[in-house]
């Protein structure tokens, strides 16, 4: 398949929301590919999957075993992406030098891996820092649809992190998450806030279902730079999609350029 033109002004982005079964890679891969296929049939060009969508969270032994499957899973997604001209993003377990990372892989619309991002902000409240090693940098990937910034779940609570992605040129930020129902109003609010304050599009995929005592109710969504919710899901499995007009971003920034009018010398960080 030939390379899609870069910096397209209009694309259709989608999100896939499903119940991630801990340790059951076959079931999760089936759920993910079914959702991607539905989006592909509709001509969706960019799709986001939940956090740790193939394996879920678990003990180190399970995650290390899952890491061995990650290259094969990526190959499956690469073939799908190339066949459908679809960019695909989602986080998977990665092992490197004995360490386990929560890593988002972004597969471009021609099937190449455009980049990877290791989750920087680990959620100590649930003990992620005992199992995973944090990443050490923010990542913006050059893709067929322009620069895309990558975030995972707890990263959403750090405004300076998303601002870094915007300052590095991201016009779209994709987020994979396992965000529980007890704090879902934070999720809804923070996605809108990150989009508005950085004047960017955000496509965020959350899971549903239950893992031990944690319950998840989705609320995956796509949000415009002015905070408008372009597509949203509540609870339950399924997909959602929306047309993204990047010219809307340019028009908004031309009217009032929040990024351009920053005064960083006055900010005590």
Residue positions annotated with a catalytic role: 51, 119, 153
Q: In whole angstroms, give the CA distance from residue 238 to residue 78.
A: 22
């Amino acid at each position: 398949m030939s390379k899609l033109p870069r910096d397209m002004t209009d694309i259709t982005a989608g999100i896939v929301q499903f119940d991630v079964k801990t340790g059951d890679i076959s079931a999760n891969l089936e759920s993910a590919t079914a959702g991607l296929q539905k989006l592909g049939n509709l001509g969706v060009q960019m799709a986001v999957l939940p956090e740790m969508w193939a394996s879920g969270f678990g003990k180190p032994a399970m995650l290390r075993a899952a890491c061995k499957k990650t290259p094969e899973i990526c190959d499956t997604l690469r073939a799908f992406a190339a066949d459908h001209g679809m960019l695909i993003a989602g986080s998977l377990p990665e092992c490197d030098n004995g360490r386990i990372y929560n890593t988002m892989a972004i597969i471009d619309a021609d099937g190449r891996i455009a980049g990877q991002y290791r989750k920087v902000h680990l959620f100590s409240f649930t003990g992620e820092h005992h199992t995973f090693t944090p990443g050490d940098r923010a990542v913006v990937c050059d893709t067929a649809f322009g620069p895309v910034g990558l975030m995972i779940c707890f990263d959403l609570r750090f405004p300076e992190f998303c601002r870094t992605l915007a300052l590095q040129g991201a016009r779209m930020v994709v987020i994979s998450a396992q965000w529980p129902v007890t704090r879902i109003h934070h999720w809804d609010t923070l996605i809108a806030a990150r989009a508005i304050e950085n004047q960017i599009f955000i496509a965020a995929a959350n899971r549903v279902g239950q893992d031990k005592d944690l319950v998840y109710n989705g609320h995956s969504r796509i949000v415009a730079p002015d905070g408008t919710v372009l597509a949203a899901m509540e609870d339950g499995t399924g997909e959602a999609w929306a047309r993204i007009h990047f010219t809307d971003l340019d028009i908004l920034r031309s009217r009032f350029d929040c990024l351009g009018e920053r005064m960083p010398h006055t900010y005590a960080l």
